[in-house]
Chain A
């Protein structure tokens, strides 16, 4: 009886996904986004492309870390010569740095606008364009309605959208598929070696639709994401809560 109940619930969850506009990618489509254990947190253990992801960053240091993390994701998304659009109001991203994450900076088109309204308009138009691999929008905040519009645009075109929110104090519910928070972690080198090591982040997946949120430690090393220390999200979570308590 319990078995059938579980089946029904699973079936319903899948239906909900479909009704919400989520289309699971075909099996042979991607070899993953390169996130390793993090991908298991998503439904069907596949990183949802063709969806909206939001990143929270209060400090410029966090914004830099989010920028690096997104660049790492772009590497896979732009693999076949794709282009992406980076829309912002006060852009500080330094294009040559993208090269370190395996992205050709000349395939990124920057749109610099003055008003948040224009950023949203440009982002919605860009997300409707099927020729792009990804669209990144930097904004202070986004309302539920606005995020829903972006989600609807994405459902048609299957473009992946990233929103960088710089003012997370006004945290509101959004229609985004996942909410991330990337913060920098002290880098570590081989024992006794001087200098700064590879970029290392604390990757928090705060919300994910029909998935399991968690916290991971990741490092960008040798052109890919590498999990650091304990790979199991729950374990790190426990450790975090213990430290907090």
Chain B
């Protein structure tokens, strides 16, 4: 595909942003300063200050001498990167692949995007006007390579749009700084009187390499499209993603429903053709005020059923706040899986865990109540009762071990064993009676003890001697004594469960 790039240059990024935040600064000269080797150095100056001879890199004291009443504002480190990231995210409406170009630019990969706005000229104009109306002083250029677009946006005089054939010609009259060279290389070129790209572009490559190093050739090659240049996108483009821009901002629940329905239709048709299904999906709404609202769903098994996925999103609509309106919906599926081919069964008993209906039901419950409410347990290789089960990771996971059935286990197990008072006169015999919640139970029948040792590699403490007892009313309990028999009232006894 034919590549096209746009670079945007924010000429006064920091100062423009400060003016937007504090409109009072718009008609006074001001500078932004940072400490450097014990003195204050200007990191940014607004256009009024620049017109009077203040430049970036100058000492703040000198600038104050030039302009009386100059406002000085402290620099916040990392502010430019933060601003560029926010602006880049805003620019996603123009192209999905946006990269930050520190300290003051953005790079857009606009291959195949411009025709949506009619023409390249209209497209570039739209970007520039929108950014200017926000209050940023920007210059933008479009070319086949990042290098050329960068050069034209910073130094171009004629036209911001460079046709594919005119790459090299457009570069010729520009100064060497347009090639993004290191300062040492620039100085050397300056010393040799090479003030324009045209004066060295035709020199033999070996000469250039010997004199100025590999980096000049690399930058030149990148500008001319002979070398590849990789940009790091701000947001990784999901392979399964659908976009729905809206003519009018959407701010009603019905509107959001329609948007979800449309997006799901587009995405699910594509997934069905590829035999895949959604495991997780995220709906993002880009609001007018620049914020992004999102809702995420997850499924227990891959699904491309529009009806089912819509049901899941429907539960989340109430949480989406449209505020003044949403102008762009994006539906992403970060996790997709192959959908198992379902053979229609003519008759079956109860299909159980593999049933589609069960998976959809669990999605619905998980979507409304949270996935943490759903549990399924598998046996674990521990004798300690609390650790004898572990939660299953997925609906399809099969138990690795068999469920043990050789020892009696209570139907109801208390999460925390509750202390009881007992009368246990005979060592290593079950107690005669015990008191639980103020009620005395006389033990008529008992089994045990079953000694369960604590797993010393996991925790310290005494072992438990479990007794399975039945009282005079036939109610069956699971009691245990902590540690060895100590005589008298020395032992702690607990009630841990109820048998059926």
Residues on A lying within 8 angstroms of B by beta carbon are 59-61, 63-65, 67-69, 71, 77-83, 85, 92-97, 99-101, 104-113, 118, 121-122, 125-126, 129-133, 184-187, 189, 194-197, 199-201, 220
Contacts and interface: CB of A to CB of B under 8 A. Distances in A.
A92 B414 contact: yes
B361 A106 contact: no
Interface string B354-368: 011110111011001
Given A64-B499, A109-B375, A185-B474, A195 B410 contact: no
Contacts of B473: 184, 186
A133 B350 CA distance: 6
Contacts of A113: 369, 373
A32 B116 CA distance: 68
Given A64-B498, A80-B349, A186 B444 contact: yes
Q: Is the interface of B mostly helix, strand, loop or mixed?
A: mixed
Given A68-B500, A79-B349, A100-B405, A94 B411 contact: yes
A97 B411 contact: yes
Contacts of B352: 78, 80-83, 107, 131, 133
B377 interface: yes
Contacts of B365: 111, 122, 125-126
Interface of B: 348-353, 355-358, 360-362, 364-365, 368-369, 373-379, 385, 388-389, 392, 398-399, 403-405, 408-415, 444-447, 468-470, 472-477, 497-500
A95 B389 contact: yes
Nearest to B355: A131
A109 B409 CA distance: 19
Given A61-B476, A96-B389, A131-B358, 9 more contacts: A71-B411, A81-B352, A94-B410, A96-B388, A105-B379, A110-B374, A110-B376, A125-B361, A132-B358
A111 B412 contact: no
Contact of B362 (A109, A118, A133, A189): A109
B361 A97 contact: no
23 contacts: A60-B412, A61-B477, A63-B498, A64-B410, A68-B499, A69-B500, A78-B352, A82-B350, A82-B351, A92-B412, A97-B500, A99-B405, A100-B409, A104-B403, A105-B389, A106-B399, A108-B377, A109-B362, A111-B369, A126-B361, A129-B358, A186-B474, A196-B445
Given A110-B374, A184-B475, A199 B499 contact: yes
Contacts of B348: 80
A195 B136 CA distance: 86
B470 A132 contact: no
B350 A106 contact: no
Chain A contact residues: helix, strand, loop or mixed: mixed
Contact of B412 (A67, A83, A112): A67
B193 to A, nearest CB: 79
A194 B475 CA distance: 17
A131 B498 contact: no
Nearest to B472: A186
A78 B399 CA distance: 17
Contacts of B410: 64, 94, 97
A96 B375 contact: no
The 7 A-B pairs with the shortest beta carbon distances in the complex, nearest first, are A68-B500, A80-B349, A82-B350, A131-B355, A186-B474, A64-B498, A94-B413
Given A67-B500, A83-B350, A184 B476 contact: yes
Contacts of A108: 376-377
A16 B368 CA distance: 38
B444 A130 contact: no
Given A113-B369, A184-B473, A186-B474, A106 B376 contact: yes
A198 B377 CA distance: 26
A196 B356 contact: no
B357 A131 contact: yes
- Most chain B CB neighbours (cut-off 10 Å) among A63, A130, A184: A184
A60 B444 CA distance: 19
Contacts of A96: 379, 388-389, 403-404, 409
A109 B411 contact: no
Nearest to B353: A83
A92 B365 CA distance: 21
Contacts of B356: 131
A81 B352 CA distance: 6
A187 B445 contact: yes
Contact of A200 (B362, B403, B447, B474): B474
Contacts of B350: 77-78, 80-83, 131-133
